[in-house]
């Protein structure tokens, strides 16, 4: 287990992650952050693109699982139900426990799991600590919170390094 903040590739969006290529790498479980990864903050329903990506994952025998730090009551649950996938809210990323509980729930091991998220210091760092392959996507939208701009600026060197280490 690594304490590395460097992802295994930086991708424009979740839909750029080809389910066939994931399956060819032995992946059977995709843990995905919710806010700014699958949809913008406060969006409660999956987009048609996310629904199609989830269906393409399923066609390859890959399960999608929402692993969220959201503390808004019912946020992750409502979205997961609309998408028809399991979820875990209040996951405590970057702590390992949330990742390990999700994999245990789904009967998967770290080597057959990837984590898709938009943040280095939660999603990527936590995935590396849990032995899961971290795949970073560009945040959908930064508007609305000045703190996000600062956080993403601090992540820039790690995003650049991760862009040179593509998993797919």
Domains of the chain are 10-163 (3.40.50.1000)
The predicted model scores a pTM of: 0.93
Over the chain, what is the mean pLDDT?
Answer: 92
Q: Which pLDDT score, from 0 to 100, does residue 144 have?
A: 67
Q: Does residue 73 register a pLDDT over 90?
A: no
Asked if residues 129 and 3 have their Cβ atoms less than 8 Å apart, the reply is yes
Structure tokens at 155: 């992540």
CA atoms within 13 Å, Cβ hemisphere of 141: 11
CA distance 41 to 110: 28
Using the predicted structure, report yes or no on whether residue 96 has a pLDDT greater than 90: yes
**Is 164's pLDDT higher than 90?**
no
Buried b (16+ CB within 10 A) or exposed e, 52-61: ebbebbeeee
Q: Give 75's Cβ-side CA count (13 Å radius).
A: 18
Percent of the chain having pLDDT more than 70? 97
Q: What share of the chain is helix, strand, coil (3-state, %, to 5)?
A: 45, 15, 40
In the prediction, which pLDDT does 143 show? 66
**Residue 1 pLDDT class (50, 70, 90 cuts):** low
The answer to whether the bond into 37 is cis (omega within 30° of 0) is no
pLDDT score of 132 more than 70: yes
């Amino acid at each position: 287990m690594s304490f590395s903040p460097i992802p295994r590739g930086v991708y424009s969006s979740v839909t750029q992650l080809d389910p066939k290529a994931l399956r060819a790498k032995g992946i059977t479980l995709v843990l995905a952050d919710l806010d700014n990864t699958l949809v913008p903050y406060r969006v409660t329903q999956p987009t048609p693109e996310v629904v199609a990506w989830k269906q393409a994952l399923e066609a390859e025998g890959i399960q999608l699982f929402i692993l969220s730090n959201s503390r808004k009551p019912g946020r992750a649950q409502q979205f997961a139900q609309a998408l028809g996938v399991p979820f875990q809210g209040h996951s405590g990323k970057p702590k390992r426990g949330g990742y390990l509980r999700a994999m245990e729930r789904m009967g998967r091991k770290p080597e057959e799991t990837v984590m898709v998220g938009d943040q280095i210091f939660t999603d990527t760092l936590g995935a590396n600590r849990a032995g899961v392959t971290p795949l970073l996507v560009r945040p959908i939208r930064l508007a609305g919170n000045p703190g996000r701009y600062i956080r993403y600026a601090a992540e820039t060197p790690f995003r650049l390094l991760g862009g040179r280490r593509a998993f797919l």
